Structure 1
Amino acid sequence: MTENSRTAVTRLSLYHLPDAAARYLFLSVLRAGWIDAAPGGGIARQNCPGDDVLYCLSGRGEVRIGAELLRIAPGQLVWIPGDQPHEHWADIADPWSVMWFRMQGPDLPLLRLRILGQGGPQVNIASGAEMIAWFQTLFSTLSDQRPGVEVRLNAVLARFLELLSGPANSEARSLLPAPLDRLMKQMMDHPEAPWTAEDMAKVARLSHSQLRRLFHQHVGVTPRSFLRNQRLVRAQRLMQESKLSLKQIAEATGFFDAFHFSREFKRAVGQSPAVWRVAEWRG
């Protein structure tokens, strides 16, 4: 395998090494993460072990598989065969933020054919909230390496394949309960809102305990953790695309103040907002 990589800002990176038996028995995940790419940032390979799946949250990018060039926009997913030459890179003017994972398992070419059919590797995702929820479940599972992780990862991947299967992939019915899907979409659209527990329960039309149970079951995080992640996503976009001060960005994204924003950002990303912003501008 030969590989050529370009700069990207890694928000999250998780790795997993399946045992020998699992590689032949299960679909498994070798690595997964969340990357905010620098302009033009990407990677080129002749091949790699396993298939990569990228889901575009924001911005734009391009993927080349063999001779085929795909332009990827927000809400689109691309399944990249590891056994073919491929490369992908972020748009210069509007670099993408992508959640991604690499899967390994028996007979991936046949699996691609069964799930994607003749429609190609690029898929429109009808429910962005559901796909983000699925990735957060994956990240949570990879972070918990207790015995039985291979079985849990196989189950998580089965849910992913269910999301993509069925007639007209782009029109697949959401697998999230309707109250949860409704609330998550509104939280993603308006992360700057106060979003008290009462607000969340009112939008979902559920009790507080029911709502927490559904988030735990389908997303793997609490409602408050999901909201914090959406605020950080919005804050990063503002740091990349505007000259607003960190104080103004904190106010625009629902944080109490600049100190609260900086603390939560560093906890999630590993860098202060100021350091991350400078690195992005230089990228």
Structure 2
Amino acid sequence: MKAEDLPEPATHGTPAPPAELLVVARFDVRPGYAVDRIRGASNWLLTWTLAGAGRLQQGGVEVIARPGDLVVLGPDLPHSYAVAPGATAWSFWWVHCPPRASWRSWLSPYERGDRVFRTRVPTYLHPRLSRAFRALHADARWSGHGPPPAPVPASHTRVRPAVAVGTAARELALGRVEEILLLATAGSQPGRPARRGLDPRVRQIEAMLLADPAAPHTVRSLAEQVALSPSRLSHLFSQQTGTTLTRALQDARLRYAARLLEGTDLPVQSVATASGFVSAFHFSRLFRARFGVPPKDYRAGARRPPSG
């Protein structure tokens, strides 16, 4: 399948791309544009709204996507999307792709039900997300020979679909999707009551753990970063997040290890070391307790071709 074989801006009854394909484009559409898939899609659909507004519905859940909203629709449920009622246009990037195993856990705090995820991306991250989507579109067009194509200019409001063909293009493009999801979920707050009013010092510690989990963090070194005593930081962190600082660090390292297992061929010992664990045995035990399978089995499952 080539990009030219895909339809123009989708209309009622347009089938979803095959499960294994990664397809990306940017559309600028007017009222009357609509997609209605009674079988949904067998892969994931991500949309990031740049201007105007869109209405997305899946199962019994409906959301209105406004500028800065990243909406993700999971697979295998009837869905539809269109220019939102009352809106004069909808400008948005969209991506159909197979997911990586870790993505669901990043998105789970933002689920609205029926595999619909929505997060509002802070304005200061919009330029970075725009670059990531344009780089994703360029990576999907790479043949694997010669230099990758240049991203389309940011001023382009209509970008034709690109289909990632070949291992290099597909893996590079999936890496860009992962970057987009990390930016969107790390820079947003789910809005659940437990996280309202989170102390800025606790938020700073969470950001540090996410950014560099393998660093030689200790409660004392982290406390120094936010000008608190270790005991005060420990108490504040546990009170506001419901977990201990030590457990949060361990979980950040395990999630980082999961990404290394998915995206690299590093031996388990090297993954453990790169993720901040001294002992590979201790790492494997903790990883199995967290994900339900040993590291090697997790890697095999993450790389298994999707069924159907």
The alignment's TM-score, normalised by the length of structure 1, stands at: 0.49
The alignment's TM-score, normalised by the length of structure 2, stands at: 0.46
